[in-house]
Amino acid sequence: MITMLEAIRQAMRDELAADDKVVLIGQDIAEFGGAFKVTQGLVDEFGSERVVDTPISESAMIGAAIGAAMVGLKPVVEMQFIDFLACGYNQLVNFAGKMRYRWGQGASLVVRGPCGAGVSGSAFHSQSPESSYLCVPGIKVIYPSTAEDAYGLLRSAIQDPDPVLFLEHKFLYRRIKGEIGSKPIPLGQAATRRRGHGLTVVTYGAAVHTALEVAEQFGDQVEVLDLRCLLPLDEAAVFESVRRTNKVVLYHEAQKTLGMGAELSARISESLFEYLDGPVTRVAAPDSPIPFSPNLEKAWLPGSEQLAQACRQLLNY
């Protein structure tokens, strides 16, 4: 059993070993091993040519990764906190995300880093920014919830020919453990974490664990579907589950407005209207920055009580 953090490191280690085109780029990632120690030891194994420290220049880091990808490398760029990707938004969204469509040239690169709240990181070290990158074309988005998935999905992400944003919930880094496989896990396949017949909770990331806790309270009523990848999205798995349970709660830590839940809600309403036995329900974060002090942050987080309340209401509908 290894932690999710170790699983992520192992995925990078295995890819570095398997393919000499893979390089790691990031702030403090070489000798220091990264702010969260995700890359610890990799510079000793693979050398400072392949595990490369950079200045604090998120835009230049991603831009350079795009250039390096064009000449055949497979760069994996670490954001010290994924919030800082805002400083590299233009390179990722306007350069990497649009190039294949515009002129046929792709860029195989991964941007990865810690996201998510629950550790009093305040407004700039806690965000789940997936919506910002899903509402523009060209970037795949992965958000694993287990050590096994983190390993297998990161390996697939590194091998993928297109830009991938790989979100690692920092609350899970050392709190969950699991057995990892030795192979990549294909992108775009959701996983049913618990079977139920009364309603489906569609979720991903750290929220999967809260959903599983909550589902316990409802016996065999609540099904938990872990998306794992937000793009490519396993829409078929969502639809299959909702067709069976006829009720759905869309649950995530990111902001409710225009979040993943909003998109899924629209798709379910468009395609499964006649299957629904209750309102499509969302449990997600409020439209406010993430507060610092633990009590405030707890009040902000869409937690187990809110989810349980939503499940209860919908089951009784």
Partner 1 sequence: MTSEQKLQAYYFLKLNRALEERLLSFYKQNKVVGGLYRSLGQEAISIGSAMALQPQDWVAPLIRNVGAFLVRGYRPRDLFTQYMAKATSPTCGRDCNTHFGDIQRGVVAPISMLGAMIPVMVGVGWGSRMQGVDRVGLTYIGDGGTSTGDFHEGLNLASVWKAPMVLIAEHNQFAYSTPTSKQMAITDLVDRAKAYAIPAEIVDGNDVLAVFAATGRALEHARSGQGPYFLECKTMRMRGHAEHDDARYVPAELLEQWRGKDPIERFTRQLLDEFGFAPEQLSEQDERVKVLIEEDAEFADNSPYPDGSGALGGVFAS
The footprint of partner 1 (CB under 8 A) covers 21, 23, 49, 52, 54-55, 57, 59-73, 75, 90-91, 94-95, 98-106, 137-138, 140, 161-162
- Closer Cβ to partner 1, 65 or 191, answer by number: 65
- Closer Cβ to partner 1, 2 or 64, answer by number: 64
The Cα 110–Cα 105 span in angstroms is: 16
Of 156, 147, 145, 150, the closest CA to residue 194 belongs to 145
Please state the closest distance from residue 295 (CB atom) to partner 1, in A. Answer: 37
Please state the closest distance from residue 4 (CB atom) to partner 1, in A. Answer: 27
Q: Is 125 one of the annotated active-site residues of the chain?
A: yes
The Cα 97–Cα 118 span in angstroms is: 30
Please state the closest distance from residue 52 (CB atom) to partner 1, in A. Answer: 8
The Cα 269–Cα 34 span in angstroms is: 43
- Closer Cβ to partner 1, 91 or 127, answer by number: 91
Q: CA 129, 132, 134: angle at the middle one, nearest 5?
A: 105
- Residue 93, CB-side half-sphere exposure with 13 Å CA sphere: 13
- Closer Cβ to partner 1, 101 or 317, answer by number: 101
Please state the closest distance from residue 313 (CB atom) to partner 1, in A. Answer: 39
- Closer Cβ to partner 1, 102 or 197, answer by number: 102
Catalytic residue among 125, 169, 209, 252: 125
Q: CA 185, 191, 194: angle at the middle one, nearest 5?
A: 145
Please state the closest distance from residue 127 (CB atom) to partner 1, in A. Answer: 21
The Cα 124–Cα 208 span in angstroms is: 23
The residues assigned a catalytic role are: 125
